[in-house]
Amino acid sequence: MILIVAEHAGGKLAKSTLEMVTAARDSGREGPVTLLVLGQGVAGVANEAAVVADQVLVGDLPALATYNAEVWAAATAQIAREGEATTVLIGGSRSGREYAPRVAVKLDAPYLEDAIRLSASGDALQAQRYTYLARVTETVEASGPVIVVTVKPGSFAAASAAAQPGEQYDVELELPTPRVEVTGRSVEKTSRVALTEADVIVTGGRGVGNPENFTTYVEGLADAIGAGVGATRAVVDAGWRPYAEQVGQTGKTVQPGAYIALGVSGAVQHLSGMGKSKNIIAINKDAEAPIFKVADYGIVGDVNVIVPALIEAARK
Ligand code: FAD
């Protein structure tokens, strides 16, 4: 089987999980696509998982209420071993990249990190990934009875419902007592949708002018239409916005239904993070800006003039 460890938050399956299902189906690896759902009170997540997977394995325990690398690694390795998984896919999130190498060690398996493409030939698995600050895309290959892979979020399309919902099975897990404990957690309060989950993203570039304009125009438009907020590296490097919002080769990869780029030139490193968006809408005062080469809709003009009118129209 191809084992995917489901990522979920707030009782909902994360988009990254649907992307991993596509990665699994496109990889050419044999076996049922199996989602492992770990957590406490995850029946709703398991039901969502069953819509896209061939089968769902559910570990619903108090000991799994909070993510812990030692516990997740032990549970994943146990299920991979018992199910004779040939491939284990783990999200390329901060936590996924923390426990995936532990899983590989436990299974004595090769580990491919941050895959943006997967393809199988025979019992070998090839993965593409960015390297050298994303200036180079390299292809790596591993073979063996089982291979552990992390998948870069935003690199694959989200899977849609399978022809038939997958069966769900409860699993019994032998979990270690973790040596590291989460003793506190403060969650940033925002009503805004996360960048990697958003179906519409408004991104601001240096052409927005300054941090205040970013708040007024980029966040203003995003809030008016219920979108996520992205930024170019130029804006992040200038300290206007946090790195978490950066889209591009050295930031997040996204493919929303609509990507609205305000004052973004469209440098190749930016395009590689958002070029697969279904609809790209660009506003830039330079008609020759490279972003217009990939845009489905473009407005040549000043963001300071056009965006306030868009916000007003959206609010109406
Ligand atoms: P600029 O290139 O300065 O473009 C500003 C645009 O705004 C221009 O097209 C201008 O015409 C327009 N403009 C100006 N004023 C207005 C106005 N009033 N109204 C409308 N339009 C206006 N970049 C990323 O974004 N993400 C990455 O992950 C990333 N990784 C990189 C990795 C490496 C190794 C390297 C070398 C570079 C990377 N970059 C990345 C940087 C990238 O090359 C560009 O420098 C950056 O994307 C440019 O950001 P920008 O479009 O905001 O700024």
> Tens of pLDDT along 225-275?
999 999 999 999 999 999 999 999 889 999 999 999 999 999 999 998 999
Evaluate: CB of 87 within 6 angstroms of ligand 1. Answer: no
In one letter, which amino acid is 279? Answer: N
The single residue listed with the structure tokens 């506190």 is 184
Mutate to test the pocket of ligand 1, among 265, 277, 281, 291 (most ligand atoms within 8 A of CB): 265
pLDDT at 49 over 80: yes
Give CA–CA dist 185/212, Å, rounded: 30
Atom 48 of ligand 1 has which residue's CA nearest to it?
Answer: 234
The average pLDDT across 123-135 equals: 86
Pocket of ligand 1, candidates 152, 208, 210, 233: which has the most ligand atoms within 8 Å of its Cβ, to mutate?
233
Averaged pLDDT, 286-292: 97
For the Cβ of 286 lying below 6 angstroms from any atom of ligand 1, the answer is yes
- Report the predicted TM-score, pTM, of the whole model to 2 decimal places: 0.80
Ligand 1 probe mutation, 206, 212, 268, most atoms within 8 A of CB: 206
- In sequence order, the 6+-apart residues with CB closer than 8 A to the CB of 251 are 233, 236, 243, 245, 273
Tell me the pLDDT band of 133, cut-offs 50, 70 and 90: low
Query: Which atom, in ligand 1's list, is nearest to the CA of 235?
Result: 52
> Which residue has its alpha carbon closest to ligand 1 atom 17?
302
Which of ligand 1's atoms lies nearest the C-alpha of 134?
Answer: 34
Question: Of the candidates 181, 261, 280, 91, which has an alpha carbon nearest to the alpha carbon of residue 76?
Answer: 91
135 has a pLDDT exceeding 80:
no
pLDDT at 134 over 70: no
Ligand 1 pocket test: which of 195, 264, 299 has the largest number of ligand atoms within 8 Å of its C-beta? 264
Measured by CA distance, the residue closest to atom 34 of ligand 1 is 133
Cα–Cα nearest to 197, from 50, 93, 59: 93
Mean pLDDT (the chain, rounded): 94
Q: Is the CB of 166 under 6 A from ligand 1?
A: no
Question: How many CA atoms lie less than 13 Å away from 100 in the CB half-sphere?
Answer: 27
For residue range 188-234, list pLDDT tens digits in order.
Answer: 777 788 888 899 999 999 999 999 999 999 999 999 999 999 999 99
Q: Are 13 and 35 in contact, with CB atoms under 8 Å apart?
A: no
Query: Per-residue pLDDT averaged across 46-54, rounded?
Result: 97
Confidence of residue 13 (pLDDT cuts 50, 70, 90): very high
Query: Looking at residue 186, what is its pLDDT?
Result: 82
Task: Identify the pLDDT of residue 193.
Answer: 86
- Burial pattern 216-235, b for ≥16 Cβ within 10 A else e, equals bbbbbbbbbbebbbbbbbbb
Angle at 228 between CA 239 and CA 53, to 5 degrees: 125
pLDDT at res. 23:
97
First-to-last C-alpha distance (Å) of the chain: 51
241 lines ligand 1 (CB under 6 A): no
Q: Is 213 left (phi over 0), alpha (psi -120 to 50) or beta?
A: alpha
Sheet containing strand 117-121, edge to edge, reads: 117-121, 124-131, 136-143
Strand ranges (E), the chain: 2-5, 8-9, 12-13, 33-39, 55-60, 87-91, 111-115, 117-121, 124-131, 136-143, 147-151, 167-170, 200-204, 228-231, 258-262, 279-284, 297-300
Nearest to 64 by CA among 170, 194, 190, 188: 170
Interface pTM, i.e. ipTM: 0.99
Q: What angle do CA 32, 69, 35 make, to 5 degrees?
A: 15
Tens-digit pLDDT profile for residues 152-198: 998 999 999 888 899 999 999 999 999 998 888 887 777 788 888 89
